[in-house]
Structure 1
Amino acid sequence: MSGFEAEKASLRSREHHNGTSLLSDNNATKEFEMTNQNDLKLQELGYQSELRRSFSIWSILGVGFGLTNSWFGISASLIAGINSGGPLMIVYGIIIIACISSCVGITLSELSSAIPSAGGQYVWTRVLIPKDKNASFWSYLCGSLAWAGAIFTSASTILSISTLAVGFYALCHPDFTPKAWHTFVAFELLNIFIFFFNCYGKILPHIATGALYISLFSFAVITITVLACSKGSYNTPAFVFRDFENATGWESAGLAFIIGLVNPNWSFSCLDCATHMAEEVEEPERIIPISIMGTVAIGFVTSFCYSIAMFFCVKNLGAINASNTGIPILDIYHQALGNKAGAIVLGCLVFLTGLGCNISCHTWQARLCWSFSRDKGLPFSDKLLIIDPRTGVPLYAHFFSCALVALVGCLYLGSSTAFNSMATGCITFLLMSYAIPTFALLFVKGRKNLKHGPFWLGPLGMFANVVTILWTCFAAIVFSFPVTKPITRNNMNYASPVIAGYVLVAVIYWHVKGKKEYRPVDDEAEAYVKAMGGESPDVAF
């Protein structure tokens, strides 16, 4: 039996073993050829396929939206925005950020379609920058920033549901005053609990798909329930769309509004998540862009409708700001339903959605750590690049990433506004990692010189690239401002020193060790890099 026939027989046998219908010869041939083409593209970049391509378009969309999960992000981070302008800031902020995120999504989609790789932005950087222009350093720095963004995203997401868990108790005990250590303990316990969901590869596609359905189900149930229970006592349109409530202490309403954009921006972050699953899906050059743009579209519809519905049901904004729960959305549920039990039930749906979000987050950070270690970009790379043969996942990379998330959680013990610092770190690290390959695409390689994939938007894509770079510069500055005044040690935004410190450590590591060990592009991959020019054949998207 030839190798080709043996592979087809293996595919049929695997389907039969899983209890599904037998593949026809044509289907087996098609699956083999598709997998082979994907693996050949990966080999051209200098990598070997090590992960099973078991994710479908729905499970990839589940990972992408399950992590970004915009309506959940609005719920979880409402405390970061509602004081910076009230409902008006959130509603119009969602529109602004959705437009910007569409540009970011287009940029990532074009690059992932042209250069599908689990490394995502740091591999794109290496392809787009010539070897004689410090391509290895910029690729390394981009990978370091992307992984740091994933770590801070995990930390901020776990912190949001940890705060929610403590808020449940506070809602039922009005005299209870939550302490930082309460949330910190919940944070560490949840980080350990969520760790185990990413320890077995075969169940991950099912978890990702389930997380998508749970999120959409929870969104529908909460929105309908809150609106139905508030019937006859809705707030005024002026309260939702016109009135500006500035409780930050900043004299400038405009500055307060801009700082508050961290809430919707965090809710639309992590759009690169799906790109790091490129080696676990067939036809990644088509599927990954669909997932990214689908995530933005679903995120806008759900978060916009959800926010308007919730704010029309607010009865007393002052009571929400003064509540002991520290979770505005929980108090909105309480005011709408009129009883604590119902509010906690709806809060549990948010909590379950948050668990799915965190599981996707762990999947993402582990893949980034693994792919970057494959190129010797991290300490202990020889261990971190190993795919565990029993579980089919990069177990060491997963454990290492979760351990660092646990350390980042310690920030909460030092600042009452640590969530803002983590959210800012998440947004800034990721935007910087997007900006590097985007800048290289525009000003080093040139868009017309890239052999693009099926997703390519021409002039609109160029506009999206420019917006991505400009927004990165703007957000990195304004989101580092403290959320409230007067500024004290407890409410200081520590994102700037953390980001600067991390970049400094990364640069030092590069000069001490990274420059010697970071994977040089071999001859085969270098030939591919040089070939990434000219026009690609027309492909239907």
Structure 2
Amino acid sequence: MSDLDIEKKPSVKPASSENASGADDNDAMKLAEMGYTQDLQRNFSVLSLIGIAFCMSNSWFGISASLITGISSGGTVLLVYGLIWISFVSLCVGTSLSELASAMPNAGGQYFWASQLAPPKYARFASYFTGWFGYAGAIFACASVALSLAQGVIGMWKLGHPDFVIEAWHTVVVYQLINFFCYLFNCWGKTLPLVAKGTLYISLVSFFVILIAVPACASSHQSGHYVFAQFVNSTGWKSDGMAFIVGLINPNWIFACLDSATHMAEEVPQPERNIPIAILATVGIGFTTSWFYCISMFFSLKDLNKLINSATEVPILELYYQALNNKAGAIVLETLLIVTGMGCLIACHTWQSRLVWSFARDRGVPGHQWISQVNKTLDVPLMSHNVSCFIVGVLGLLYLGSSTAFNSMVTACITLLYISYTTPILCLWYRGRNNIRHGPFWLGTWGLAANIVTLLWTVFCLVMYSFPSTMPVTTGNMNYVCAVYGVVVFVLLTDWFARARREYKGVQESQGEGVLLNQPHCH
């Protein structure tokens, strides 16, 4: 579809190539009505789209990788029950995103919806604000995944070499190598669907191997009371409730990237139907795999204190070692986890590059004239991919200054993305949920309830996830996420006043208000 010539006019129909299907023509025509040309080929099937979306959250990997942030905040109880609650919240978030994606399928996702739905006077800034917060959240998501992988690799080396002393620069070097290695997979567009499917299969195979091997090899198993009822607070917080709340960052992280499929709207046929399928399938598969994985692992746990204070600094690796009582076996299982995580990072790179590429089309970032380009030979927005991965590499250097940088990255990933989700939801309420053209996926009153849960949970996370995960607070374990917010807002406002308030065109300018709204001025 890359040879389609679509003018930015709602009335112009795209010319069909000989091999283009009627569905592809219809998708391109809808995109033209939004004011955009079909620059990328629609190579992704619904299965490969689910592969991208699931591999990005990769819930059972996420639980393993972020266990260091949550296991001391309630032990097994935090994950067993926290996952149920977070999955419910994520279902509401996914429903809210699916309704909007079905009504307005566009690679811009949240910032496009905000531009369409916000009051006309504030639409440009609301869209710009949303785009920046979404992109910042995506960048921190990539950084947190890369850092968790680096910690896993260093942990394996430590397990095999007990005399090795882990230093921050070791982790940073491995972080950069992993980030670059995964960068390469997004440099060729035609192979991405195969990579997405392959990483999905690798994740599921690794999941079943570990799910079976760990409890089967464990010499003893914990009681049901220990797994489901024994609360362990090792955070230093006097309140168990507070410890539980700050520990929810662990299960929340695995569902932080639910918007990923929305940014593939211009690379999948019938996005108004397939994107909601991918989003909700991610939540369903994510909860099922992560919850049963946690149950299996925790029944095989021998010593929680050793897990929390592991010399490897990788709790899940310590759990594997306790269960198998064999270093080589534990390293093999951790390797499966690392390979799965690399699939997650590859998917994150795809997500962040598509997000900033679409944003750059509307001049939302400095250097938009280059970042918005698509490499026709490789069929990828290569410049946006290069820029995003470079920023992720720079963020990795923060670990040199703070050993709790991972916690702040995880928190920023969660909250910044939630803000980008709630902005178009609030704008939708301003317009009126029944005053827009509904897509095939629309749940009416249930959708409204999902919106409310999403908004309330966003406010809760903004406040509660800003607290430190452990007490007493020192410069080394401080939660620096508030500083992250400050930096993002500073960059956003500086760019807005220096450039974007003149250059950022906003979607409504390019297509005329009312293309997607039945009654644009109704409340």
Is the TM-score greater than 0.5? Answer: yes
Q: TM-score range by the shorter chain?
A: over 0.9
C-alpha contact 2:436 2:516 (8 A) present in aligned 1 = no
Asked if 1:73 corresponds to 2:62, the answer is yes
The SS at the match of 1:305 is helix
C-alpha contact 1:315 1:336 (8 A) present in aligned 2 = yes
**Partner of 1:306 in structure 2?**
293
C-alpha contact 1:162 1:190 (8 A) present in aligned 2 = yes
Asked if 1:267 corresponds to 2:254, the answer is yes
How do 1:34-183 residues align onto structure 2 when only pairs under 5 Å count? Answer: 34-132=23-121, 134-183=122-171
1:368 partner letter: L
CA deviations on 1:1-35 (whole Å, 9 max, x unpaired) are xx99x956x32xxxxxxxxxxxxxxxxxxx52111
How do 1:298-447 residues align onto structure 2 when only pairs under 5 Å count? Answer: 298-442=285-429, 444-447=430-433
Alignment length (residue pairs): 508
CA deviations on 1:201-236 (whole Å, 9 max, x unpaired) are 0000000011111111110000000111126x1111
**Partner of 1:222 in structure 2?**
210
C-alpha contact 2:262 2:275 (8 A) present in aligned 1 = yes
Query: 1:533 offset after TM fit, Å?
Result: 6.3
Query: 1:529 offset after TM fit, Å?
Result: 4.1
Determine the C-alpha separation between the residues in 2 that align with 1:414 and 1:532. Answer: 52
The SS at the match of 1:486 is coil
The SS at the match of 1:490 is coil
C-alpha contact 1:451 1:533 (8 A) present in aligned 2 = no
Query: 1:524 offset after TM fit, Å?
Result: 3.3
1:93 partner letter: G
CA deviations on 1:280-315 (whole Å, 9 max, x unpaired) are 000000000000000000000000000010000001
- Are the structure 2 counterparts of residues 50 and 525 from structure 1 closer, same or farther at C-alpha, using a change threshold of 3 Å? farther
C-alpha contact 1:70 1:300 (8 A) present in aligned 2 = yes
The SS at the match of 1:453 is coil
Query: 1:519 offset after TM fit, Å?
Result: 1.5
The SS at the match of 1:146 is helix
- Are the structure 2 counterparts of residues 345 and 46 from structure 1 closer, same or farther at C-alpha, using a change threshold of 3 Å? same
Greater mean deviation of Cα atoms: 321-330 or 53-62: 321-330
What percentage of residue pairs aligned between the two structures are identical? 51
Determine the C-alpha separation between the residues in 2 that align with 1:532 and 1:387. Answer: 35
Greater mean deviation of Cα atoms: 380-389 or 522-531: 522-531
**Partner of 1:24 in structure 2?**
none
**Partner of 1:254 in structure 2?**
241
Query: 1:523 offset after TM fit, Å?
Result: 5.8
Query: 1:340 offset after TM fit, Å?
Result: 0.4
The SS at the match of 2:468 is coil
Asked if 1:284 corresponds to 2:267, the answer is no
- Are the structure 2 counterparts of residues 532 and 229 from structure 1 closer, same or farther at C-alpha, using a change threshold of 3 Å? farther
Asked if 1:518 corresponds to 2:504, the answer is yes
Determine the C-alpha separation between the residues in 2 that align with 1:35 and 1:390. Answer: 21
Asked if 1:294 corresponds to 2:281, the answer is yes
Asked if 1:491 corresponds to 2:473, the answer is no
Determine the C-alpha separation between the residues in 2 that align with 1:130 and 1:531. Answer: 15
Asked if 1:200 corresponds to 2:191, the answer is no
Determine the C-alpha separation between the residues in 2 that align with 1:532 and 1:349. Answer: 52
Determine the C-alpha separation between the residues in 2 that align with 1:239 and 1:421. Answer: 30
**Partner of 2:435 in structure 1?**
449
The SS at the match of 1:280 is coil
Query: 1:178 offset after TM fit, Å?
Result: 1.1
The SS at the match of 1:528 is coil
Query: 1:374 offset after TM fit, Å?
Result: 0.4
C-alpha contact 1:45 1:525 (8 A) present in aligned 2 = no
Determine the C-alpha separation between the residues in 2 that align with 1:354 and 1:177. Answer: 24
Query: 1:525 offset after TM fit, Å?
Result: 3.8
Determine the C-alpha separation between the residues in 2 that align with 1:522 and 1:487. Answer: 49
2:447 to 461, 465, 475: 461
Determine the C-alpha separation between the residues in 2 that align with 1:527 and 1:437. Answer: 16
Determine the C-alpha separation between the residues in 2 that align with 1:120 and 1:230. Answer: 46
CA deviations on 1:340-373 (whole Å, 9 max, x unpaired) are 0000111011001001000000000000110000
Determine the C-alpha separation between the residues in 1 that align with 2:513 and 2:368. Answer: 22
Give the structure-1-normalised TM-score. Answer: 0.92
Query: 1:526 offset after TM fit, Å?
Result: 2.4
1:161 partner letter: L
Asked if 1:33 corresponds to 2:22, the answer is yes
CA deviations on 1:444-491 (whole Å, 9 max, x unpaired) are 111011111000011110000011111111101111111111111111
Determine the C-alpha separation between the residues in 2 that align with 1:467 and 1:409. Answer: 33
The SS at the match of 1:206 is helix
2:356 partner letter: C
Unaligned runs of 5+ in 2: 6-12
Query: 1:532 offset after TM fit, Å?
Result: 6.5
Query: 1:383 offset after TM fit, Å?
Result: 0.3
- Are the structure 2 counterparts of residues 104 and 338 from structure 1 closer, same or farther at C-alpha, using a change threshold of 3 Å? same
C-alpha contact 1:451 1:532 (8 A) present in aligned 2 = no
Determine the C-alpha separation between the residues in 1 that align with 2:381 and 2:22. Answer: 26
Determine the C-alpha separation between the residues in 1 that align with 2:324 and 2:279. Answer: 35
Determine the C-alpha separation between the residues in 1 that align with 2:510 and 2:36. Answer: 12
Query: 1:389 offset after TM fit, Å?
Result: 1.6
**Partner of 1:25 in structure 2?**
none
The SS at the match of 2:185 is helix
C-alpha contact 1:125 1:440 (8 A) present in aligned 2 = yes
Determine the C-alpha separation between the residues in 2 that align with 1:530 and 1:340. Answer: 60
2:227 to 237, 240, 245: 240
CA deviations on 1:26-85 (whole Å, 9 max, x unpaired) are xxxxx5211111111111111111000010000000000010111100000001000111
